[in-house]
Amino acid sequence: MFNVIGNDKFSLKNIRGGFKATQEELKAAYRRLCMLYHPDKHRDPELKRQAEQLFNLVHEAYEVLSDPQSRAIYDIYGKRGLDVEGWEVVERKRTPAEIREEYERLQREREERRLQQRTNPKGTISVGIDATDLFDRYEEDYEDVVGGGAPHVEINKMHISQSIEAPLTTKDTAILSGSLSTHNGNGGGTINLALRRVTSAKGWGEVELGLFFFSPSLLIFMLKLCDRSVWAPIFITWCASWGYHCAVVSIVCHNFLFALKLGIPHTFMMMSYQYKFQDEDQTKIKGSVKSGFFGTVVEYGAERKISRHSVLGATVSVGVPQGVSLKIKLNRASQTYFFPIHLTDQLLPSAVFYATVGPLVFYLAIQQLIIRPYVRAQKEQDLEKQRESSASNIAKKKQEAEAAVLLMQESVRRIIEAEESRMGLIILNAWYGKFVTDNSRKHERAKVIDVTVPLQCLVKDSKLILTEAIKSGLPGFYDPCVGEEKSLKVLYQFRGVMHQVLSGDTEPLRIPKQSHRIDADT
């Protein structure tokens, strides 16, 4: 609706991005579109009906943008802000700051109504595997045993935990969790109750009380604090139980983490680094060094998003005297599946090599054979559902765009005559949609629409300025390929010289430019 106010510097992105259009500029853009779409300017009954529909859209947008309160809401929160219930009872003539405060109050009330619907369940399943027989065994010990030639791999421990959250207020949350563990035939369990309070936008505190079963320690008390208001966020944890005390201080600086734990029976110091790539799979690599009374451990690994709700990670742990271990972790929504595999008790190069290369080769094979075909099929399925659900809306937008193009014909003719008289800007051809490139899949076809007339209609004083906004909202445009990446390709003439440019859907565009000359590359 709001992009209908042409391209006279009143697109959604421009207004929200900081361009403060004056009331005079707004009225000028409104008058220009009214002259273009006014029903009285068209005699044909069909064109008159279509002009009336577009005129009503322009008028609706103008009513919002010309009203100080509605515009302040729109400038801050966009169209979604106008859809929030409760504005009708808010006193008018408020400042933008007061409107922002009122909006946040309405949002808080809505969040409070949702508190009882949220439990945020989380679970972890860990299965420990002893695979030391693969790398460290005496072959002669198995020569006389039937089937003794095969390495023996066994599960030696398991851990299952589950937690739920119960929001008490917008700042206080109660957390109930429990766990069960077994290790070499011995088992135990815990029940924990924690209360977390958000003290500010950059800090929180948590108190936890736990009860242990099948363990000499029956009760544990834990206090956690976090303060992000300083340059390097600090996390402080203190816990105590019978026979066990510890204090942990963690400092996070960008991608670095430093932690120091002082306690009985374990004390250690740890330094770690994590780097996140700027890709759609959210790939992360990390490494850490931990040293304490138990020895020294070096860990390195990576994790990557393999589907919309799943993240797969692998970490290699090399230490003295712990040996070599491989830890595989799968996060699926709110559930975590953890598989620590103990390979050797000693530092064997073969174990380190296979622990590093093995998961990488396995992941690449699974990625090519299973993950990518599945994700591709899932995207196509979601895209097809999106097309079906928006088919009626797209048909309506297409009809409105075609009607707008018909109504623009007379104005475009006058603009072209004016531009030709001064060797100005003439749009020869313009296409909007999905183009076929060298990277496109086989049998993939282009899905574009002709937008030559709408772009020429936006030319003013031999200039065309498109803002940083989705171009399907411009007059005479519509989305020809919902959910797919789109571009705008323009072939134009300026001062008798041919120019060409290809612009992304949300990229700003300003023409003419010297760099668009076709003969510049030759």
- Is 442 part of a structural domain of the chain? yes
Tell me the pLDDT of the chain averaged across its residues: 77
Q: How confident is the model at residue 483 (pLDDT cuts 50, 70, 90)?
A: confident
Angle at 321 between CA 318 and CA 322, to 5 degrees: 50
Which of these three, 81, 114, 148, is where a domain ends?
81
Q: What is the pLDDT of residue 301?
A: 93
Q: How far apart are CA 515 and CA 223, in angstroms?
A: 62
Q: Are 490 and 512 in contact (CB under 8 A)?
A: no
Mean pLDDT across the stretch 414-440?
Answer: 86
Measuring CA to CA, which residue among 426, 408, 427, 396 is closest to residue 489? 427
CA 157, 159, 165: angle at the middle one, nearest 5?
175
Q: Which of 117-121, 155-159, 297-301 has the highest mean pLDDT?
A: 297-301
Is 121 a domain residue?
A: no
Structure tokens, 407: 């109504």
Burial of 312-327, coded b for 16+ CB within 10 Å and e otherwise, reads bbbbbbbbeebbbbbb
Closest CA to 422 of 463, 369, 466: 463
Q: Which residue has the tokens 């075909």?
A: 373
Q: What is the mean pLDDT of residues 166-190?
A: 82
Report CA-CA distances (Å) from 370 to 327, 328, 362. Answer: 22, 18, 11
Dihedral over alpha carbons 72, 77, 80, 85 (to 10 degrees):
-60
Each residue's pLDDT tens digit, 78-105: 565 555 554 443 444 455 666 666 666 6
CA–CA distance, 160 with 337 (Å, rounded to integer): 9
Kindly state whether residue 433 falls inside one of the protein's structural domains: yes
Query: Is residue 247, in this structure, part of any structural domain at all?
Result: no
Structure tokens at 63: 């009513």
Lowest mean pLDDT among 106-110, 233-237, 439-443: 439-443
115-129, 184-198, 294-308 — which one is most confidently predicted on average?
294-308
- Whether 401 is covered by a domain: the verdict is yes
- Sequence length of the chain is 522
Here the CATH number for the domain that contains residue 71 is: 1.10.287.110
Question: Is 4 inside any structural domain?
Answer: no
Does position 298 have pLDDT exceeding 90, yes or no?
yes
Q: Are 495 and 423 in contact (CB under 8 A)?
A: yes
Residues 128-144 have a mean pLDDT of 69
Of 235 and 424, the structure prediction assigns the larger pLDDT to 424
Last residue of a domain, one of 58, 81, 104: 81
pLDDT at 234 over 90: no
Q: Where are the alpha helices (DSSP H) in 5-146?
A: 12-16, 23-37, 45-66, 68-77, 79-82, 96-114
Contact by Cβ (8 Å): 136, 117: no
Residue 123 lies in a domain: no
For the segment 370-381, the average pLDDT, to the nearest whole number, is 81
Cis? peptide before 265, omega within 30° of 0? yes
Number of H helices, E strands in the chain: 10, 21
CA atoms of 187 and 214, how far apart (whole Å): 7
Q: How many structural domains is the chain composed of?
A: 2
Confidence of residue 380 (pLDDT cuts 50, 70, 90): confident
Tokens (6 digits) for 372 = 């990518």
Q: 436 lies in a domain?
A: yes
Residue 87: predicted pLDDT:
44
Looking at residue 24, its pLDDT comes to: 75
Alpha-carbon distance of 318 to 339, in angstroms, equals 16
| Residue appearing with tokens 């390097």 | 232
> What three-state secondary structure class fits 394?
helix
- CA 374, distance to chain mean position in Å, is 20
Through-space distance between the first and last CA atoms of the chain, rounded to whole angstroms: 43
Q: How many alpha carbons fall within 13 Å on the CB side of residue 310?
A: 9
Q: Which of 81, 100, 120 is the last residue of a domain?
A: 81
Range of the domain at 72: 23-81
What sign does the dihedral 373-375-381-384 (CA atoms) show? negative
| Lookup result for tokens 């906004």 | 469
Predicted confidence band at 214 (pLDDT cuts at 50, 70, 90)?
low
